[in-house]
């Protein structure tokens, strides 16, 4: 899951980011409201501090909602009840009060994702390849391609990022549960096999030193 953290306080961000990364989230951080609207399409959840130096958080929340239906969790300092209510009115899905702990944040993020889950597309199409995440089925040019469980999981993670980069660490943690050299070699083998089985070597692009992403235009469905 990809989270955009909009937080001007370096101490808060510095404590939060490693804790969330350890829990398998991919985090991008902005310290101001500037640039947020350009980034919301790349993430699943926006964690929005309402007290930002350059723009009123409630206004920014409304602007995000105008361009995207991304999940938004607003964060306010204790006592600022009005901000919270305004945030929810401006289209936020939930709110947190500072100081909050990471487990509470994780629970809110997961709850928001669950509540919105039924709207998620479960079939991802790229050219003549379709990956059905709910039925665990892959079709290339209308024909089913048999994949092993791990091969499907790797493909589902890369496809699920819909063109964003999916890091090797994330794939290893999600599929192998461990990030050692043996697992890393196994991932290389699985990606090579996937490219061969699908007959579409350009579908999974290697981003050197980072991970993988889908090659080609991802269709919305
Ligand atoms: Ca702040």
Please indicate, yes or no, whether residues 63 and 10 belong to a single structural domain of this protein: yes
Ligand 1 center to 50 CA (angstroms):
7
Which of 115, 136, 152 is the C-terminal boundary of a domain? 115
Ligand 1 center to 49 CA (angstroms):
6
Please indicate, yes or no, whether residues 99 and 201 belong to a single structural domain of this protein: no
Please indicate, yes or no, whether residues 175 and 213 belong to a single structural domain of this protein: yes
Higher pLDDT, 90 or 81: 90
Whether 7 shows a pLDDT value over 90: the answer reads yes
Quick one: pLDDT band at residue 163, thresholds 50, 70, 90?
A: confident
Asked if 35 and 45 count as a contact pair (C-beta separation under 8 A), the reply is: no
Please indicate, yes or no, whether residues 98 and 191 belong to a single structural domain of this protein: no
Residue 75 belongs to domain with CATH number: 3.40.50.2300
Ligand 1 center to 160 CA (angstroms):
32
How many domains, the chain?
2
Whether 135 shows a pLDDT value over 90: the answer reads no
Query: How many percent of the chain have pLDDT more than 90?
Result: 59
What sign does the CA torsion over 159, 160, 166, 168 have?
A: negative
Which of 115, 146, 176 is the C-terminal boundary of a domain? 115
Domain that holds residue 20: 2-115
Quick one: pLDDT band at residue 146, thresholds 50, 70, 90?
A: very high
């Amino acid at each position: 899951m990809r989270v955009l953290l909009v937080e001007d306080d370096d101490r808060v961000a510095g404590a939060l980011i490693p804790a969330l990364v350890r829990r398998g989230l991919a985090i991008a951080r902005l310290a101001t409201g500037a640039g947020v609207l350009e980034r919301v399409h790349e993430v699943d959840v926006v964690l929005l501090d309402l007290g930002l130096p350059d723009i009123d958080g409630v206004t920014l929340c409304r602007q995000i909602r105008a361009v995207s239906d991304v999940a938004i969790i607003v964060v306010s300092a204790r006592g600022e009840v009005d901000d919270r209510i305004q945030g929810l009115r401006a289209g936020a899905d939930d709110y947190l009060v500072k100081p909050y702990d990471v487990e509470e944040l994780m629970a809110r993020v997961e709850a928001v994702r669950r509540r919105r889950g039924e709207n998620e597309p479960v079939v991802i199409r790229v050219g003549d390849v379709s990956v059905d995440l709910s039925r665990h089925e892959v079709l290339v040019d209308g024909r089913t391609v048999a994949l092993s469980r791990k091969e499907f999981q790797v493909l589902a993670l890369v496809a699920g990022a819909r063109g964003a980069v999916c890091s090797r660490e994330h794939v290893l943690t999600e599929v192998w549960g461990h990030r050692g050299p043996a697992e890393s070699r196994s991932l290389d083998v699985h990606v090579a096999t996937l490219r061969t089985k699908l007959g579409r070597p350009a579908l999974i692009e290697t981003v050197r030193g980072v991970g993988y992403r889908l090659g080609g235009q991802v269709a919305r469905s």
